[in-house]
Structures are given as structure tokens and as C-alpha cells.
Amino acid sequence: MTRDSIAVLGAGAWGVALANVAAQGRTRVPLWAHDAAHVAALEQHRENRRHLPGLPLACAVTPTADLACIRGAEIVLAVVPAQAMRDVARAARPHLADGAAFVICAKGIERDRRRFMSEVVAEELPQAKPAVLSGPSFAADVCKGLPTAVTLAAQEESLAQRLCEALSTKTFRPYRSTDLLGVEIGGAAKNVFAIAAGMASGRELGASAQAALIARSFAELTRLGRALGARSETLMGLSGLGDLVLTCGSAQSRNFAFGQRLGRGAAAKDASGGKLTEGAFTAHVLVEMAKAAGVEMPIAEAVDDILAARLSVDAAIDALLMRPLKAES
Ligand SMILES: NC(=O)C1=CN([C@@H]2O[C@H](COP(=O)(O)OP(=O)(O)OC[C@H]3O[C@@H](n4cnc5c(N)ncnc54)[C@H](OP(=O)(O)O)[C@@H]3O)[C@@H](O)[C@H]2O)C=CC1
Ligand SMILES: O=C(CO)COP(=O)(O)O
């Protein structure tokens, strides 16, 4: 049986990790990067020294700066930062085959137009079948072949199943879903909550506070997800609770590490360490969406207020602790 052909857009840490997954059982996996110098470096070193040092590209992975590399691909994995997804999807439009699966692997919400990634793809790539891959999965873990499970959602269950088959390996295990929005909400929101968890760690608030923050973050995520039509089992699954627990509990997460630096007193503009922190881009639009849906998200709001310098970390902690006592929900 021939396997579906796969091309990957975006050659950062996650793009490389997923290209290596796709390379298993395939002889050629194009890996597109927007920067020709980056492509030359990938070809020369056979690794991404900036974003994923020490973890080599699989032999079948072919770096290229030519977007036409997606021509003929049955599955395209879109692994660029969320705020770049629209431009990349638009540029991909003339090259993408009719009916190809366009799998969103970014975790975030478009700030300017307040759109989920699946909405961006629907607007820019009418010929594509959108899908979403998300869940607890650090790129380095996946590249090292450590066991990982994710959710892979498409509108048609048969497509979700086909995508799971195309991407599963001995150690990378996708579970299928048809709840695209639920998967997207979990992936986008957990990055914002990971910043909050990192701040608590940076302020040394203790393990009890850390657990409370994760549980109350999950309550916020669930409230918003339900209001927007996500399914409970999705929110409680790998892409919701699973990724929230991973990202809020590990300094391996860039969002958590960013929050930790904020908690230790760094200014927001200096706290990323030069790394992509999707939660910082998503916090405000997430809060706006919650307000529009009439959903309370005090932890997400605190993160947004701190990032916009409307509130200090200590004032945000005090404000959260002084909220009126209420029933747990
Ligand atoms: N890393 C991980 O473990 C995981 C990441 N993700 C998600 O995957 C997405 C990508 O993250 P990740 O790969 O880790 O990030 P990285 O920062 O490692 O890589 C991002 C890549 O995208 C490139 N890029 C930046 N702007 C554009 C643009 N306008 N057009 C095309 N390419 C661009 C960057 O190039 P340059 O270096 O030139 O800026 C870089 O190669 C994020 O949404 C993240 O949340 C999801 C699961 C796991
Ligand atoms: O999404 C991730 C793990 O599932 C990666 O998290 P960070 O972007 O915070 O590093």
C-alpha cells in the first residue's frame, strides 16, 4: 500500500519534529522554510541548530525555500507561528492540490481578525480540507522518539482516521476526533495558562498554588470551550487537559519559561529569551473572545493585564486571591 505523500510548511522545532515523524516509511518529505539562508543551514548541518539543536533531520527530509514543494502532496502540515498562518496559507493557495488535507499544527488565535486557525485556513484555502493536530508534545521529545500521543481532528471522521494512519509511528500516536474547534481552543488557551503557571513558579508560590492554578485554568478553558461549542471529551482529552498539564508543569515549555522570567521580575519585552511564546500573542484575543461570549476567565485576564503592563505580577496574584468566594464550577 502506498502511503499518503506529506509536505511540511515551517522548519522550526515543531516542523522538524513532525517532518521526522512523516519521514518514517517515506522516501521524501519536503520541509519548507521561509528563509533561504535557513534552508542552506538546514541542508549543511542536517539539523535546526537554532530551534532544535543536536537532533538531526531524518534522511528523507528535504529542506526547500520553494513553496511549490507542496504540489502533489496529499497532506500538508502547517507548522508556522499562528500569527503567520494567514500569510503562509495565502501564499500556498496556488500550489495546493484540490482536496488536500491542510493540517494546522500551530497553537494560537489570530490577533488582528480574532480568528481560529481553522477559520483562517477556510478563508484562505477554499480547496483544502482543514484538520488540526494538537496535544501534549514537546518537539524534542518527539524527535528523540519518546512516546507521545496527540489529537488529530478533521470534519470527516474518515479523513481524521486516514491522517492518523499517515502520521502514526511506533512512538507517535494520534487519536482521531471530529471536534476541530475543541482541539484548537485547548491548544491556544493552554499557552496563556502556562504563562500564569510559570509566573507562580517564578514567584515561588509553592506546589499547592501550582496545582490550584492548573485546576482553575482548566475550569476557565472548559467554560469557554463549552460556550463556543467544543465537546467536553475534547476539553478533557489530550489537546485540552493533557496539554495544559504538560505545559503548566514544565520549564521545557517556552510559555512556562516566559512566565517564570516574568515572575522573577523581567519585563514582558525581555522575558521570551528570543523564543516563540504563542501565549503572549493569544492572551488578549482569548480574553476578548471570552468577554464576547459572556465567559469569566480571571486567570487569562490577569495574564493579559500583566503583559499589557496594566498590572504587576504581585497585584494580579492579590486580585485573584481576593475574588469573592464562590461555588466551585
Ligand atoms: N515546539 C514544540 O514543542 C511545539 C510547537 N507547537 C506549535 O507549533 C508552532 C510553531 O512552533 P515551533 O516550530 O516550535 O516554533 P519555532 O520558533 O521553533 O519555529 C518557528 C519557525 O517558523 C518560522 N517563521 C516565523 N515567521 C514566519 C513566517 N511569517 N512565515 C513562515 N515561517 C515563519 C521561523 O523562522 P525564523 O527562525 O526565520 O523566524 C521558524 O523557522 C507554534 O504555534 C507552536 O505553538 C505545537 C506543539 C509542540
Ligand atoms: O505546545 C507545546 C507542547 O505541547 C509546546 O509548548 P511551548 O510552546 O510552551 O514550548
Residue nearest to atom 4 of ligand 1 (CA): 14
Closest to 117 (Cα-Cα) out of 156, 77, 149, 150: 77
30 lines ligand 1 (CB under 6 A): no
Q: Which residues line ligand 2 (CB under 6 A)?
A: 107, 136-138, 191, 194, 243, 246-247, 253-255, 278
What pLDDT is recorded for position 220?
A: 98
Q: How far is the CA of 72 from the centre of ligand 2 (A)?
A: 30
Per-residue pLDDT of the chain (329 residues), as tens digits, is: 678 999 999 999 999 999 999 999 999 999 999 999 999 999 999 999 999 999 999 999 999 999 999 998 999 999 999 999 999 999 999 999 999 999 999 999 999 999 999 999 999 999 999 999 999 999 999 999 999 999 999 999 999 999 999 999 999 999 999 999 999 999 999 999 999 999 999 999 999 999 999 999 999 999 999 999 999 999 999 999 999 999 999 999 999 999 999 999 999 999 999 999 999 999 999 999 999 999 999 999 999 999 999 999 999 999 999 999 999 98
Relative to the CA of 243, which ligand 2 atom is closest?
4
Rounded-to-integer distance, Cα 146 and Cα 30, Å: 23
Q: Quick one: how far is CA 173 from the chain centroid?
A: 17
Ligand located closest to 92 CA: 1
What pLDDT is recorded for position 325?
A: 97
Catalytic sites, residue numbers: 190
Residue 327 Cα distances to 146, 212, 265, 317, 324, angstroms: 40, 15, 33, 20, 10
Rounded-to-integer distance, Cα 113 and Cα 268, Å: 23
Relative to the CA of 142, which ligand 1 atom is closest?
3
Residue to probe by mutation, ligand 2, list 16, 172, 254, most atoms within 8 Å of CB: 254
pLDDT in tens, 276-293: 999 999 999 999 999 999
pLDDT in tens, 38-94: 999 999 999 999 999 999 999 999 999 999 999 989 999 999 999 999 999 999 999
Q: How far is the CA of 137 from the centre of ligand 2 (A)?
A: 7
Q: How far is the CA of 10 from the centre of ligand 1 (A)?
A: 6
What pLDDT is recorded for position 2?
A: 77
278 lines ligand 1 (CB under 6 A): yes
Which helix (H) or strand (E) is 184 found in, with range? helix 180-202
| Complex ipTM over 0.90 | yes
